[in-house]
Amino acid sequence: MRVLIISDLHANLEAVRALPAGYDRLLVLGDLVNYGPDPAAVVQFVRERAATVVRGNHDHSIGFDEDPRCSARFRAMAEEMRRYTASVLSEEDQQYLRSLPVQAEVTLDGTRFFLCHAVPSDLYQYRPEDSPLWLDEAFAGADVALVGHTHIPFGRVLSSRLLVNPGSVGQPKNGRAEACYAVWEDGRVKLESVPYDVEETVRKLSRLPLSATVFDDLAFVLRHGAAPPQ
């Protein structure tokens, strides 16, 4: 079985469309929306294709009209794009975001997967790969724990459990302007990325009612795969 694992799509349709199509199951770790210009199309993509989806902090923000509590450098970007996103998403799509669970468990080919957006105990916490706090998480006894939120891909072994962050599809922060994802196949996981039409996403953003500063910052993140300078 080939399982495609993605997170942090952030309404970037060009990046989503660049993902590989040859998979048996699609698992999504949240943040379908915000920051990008195509929230409705990305939500539709996930609703049509994903087997299991969990809620991210930006999904929660749009669904419940709450602060996404993102990092300081991204707050202005998140707030301006949150207003835009809420204005173009249908009530049905917003209800879909509200309905997403914050955690999920699924067994595929005898392997038990646990899914959450950030950490099991907190929808908002940014936890790096090398944090010792991962050892305190039980992950419901799963064989593979899947997390997102940081936009930085990693894989590490915790005792007998594999912890995987596929990185971000729509707004990577690993220094490469490519859509990141993970593939689980034959008991192994691979961290992958694929180029996409970044400039088309930037062109779409340029047509939105954004302040010049927010547009420049969003374009920088997309083009450089990193947070904009202070």
What total number of domains does the chain contain? 1
Judged by average pLDDT, the poorest of 42-56, 130-144, 166-180 is 130-144
Mean pLDDT of 152-160: 93
Cα separations in angstroms, 165 against 66, 127, 168, 200: 25, 11, 9, 26
- Mean pLDDT (the chain, rounded): 97
What global pTM score does this model have? 0.97
Q: Report if residue 230 sits inside a domain.
A: no
Percentage of residues in the chain having pLDDT higher than 90: 96
> Which residues form the domain of 70?
2-224
Q: Report if residue 13 sits inside a domain.
A: yes
pLDDT band at 160; cut points 50, 70, 90: confident
What does the H/E/C string look like for the chain? CEEEEECCCCCCHHHHHCCCCCCCEEEECCCCCCCCCCHHHHHHHHHHHCCEECCCHHHHHHHHCCCCCCCHHHHHHHHHHHHHHHHHCCHHHHHHHHHCCCEEEEEECCEEEEEECCECCECCCCCCCCCHHHHHCCHHHCCEEECCCCCCCEEEEECCEEEEECCCCCCCCCCCCEEEEEEEECCEEEEEEEECCHHHHHHHHHCCCCCHHHHHHHHHHHHHCCCCCC
Report pLDDT for 159: 83
Residue 107, beta-bridge partner list: 112
What CATH number does the domain containing 89 carry? 3.60.21.10
Q: Report if residue 79 sits inside a domain.
A: yes
Q: Report if residue 136 sits inside a domain.
A: yes
Q: Report if residue 212 sits inside a domain.
A: yes
Q: Report if residue 102 sits inside a domain.
A: yes
Report pLDDT for 138: 87
Query: CA nearest 145: which of 169, 122, 180, 112?
Result: 112
Report pLDDT for 120: 95
pLDDT at 230 over 90: no
Q: Report if residue 21 sits inside a domain.
A: yes
The predicted-structure confidence for 70-95, as pLDDT tens digits, reads as follows 999 999 999 999 999 999 999 999 99
Mean pLDDT of 98-103: 98
Q: Report if residue 229 sits inside a domain.
A: no
Report pLDDT for 1: 94
The predicted-structure confidence for 4-55, as pLDDT tens digits, reads as follows 999 999 999 999 999 999 999 999 999 999 999 999 999 999 999 999 999 9
Report pLDDT for 141: 92
CB 207: neighbour CB atoms within 10 A? 9
User: How far is residue 212's CA from residue 39's CA, in Å, rounded to a whole number?
Assistant: 21
Cα separations in angstroms, 39 against 50, 62, 144, 148: 16, 11, 29, 19
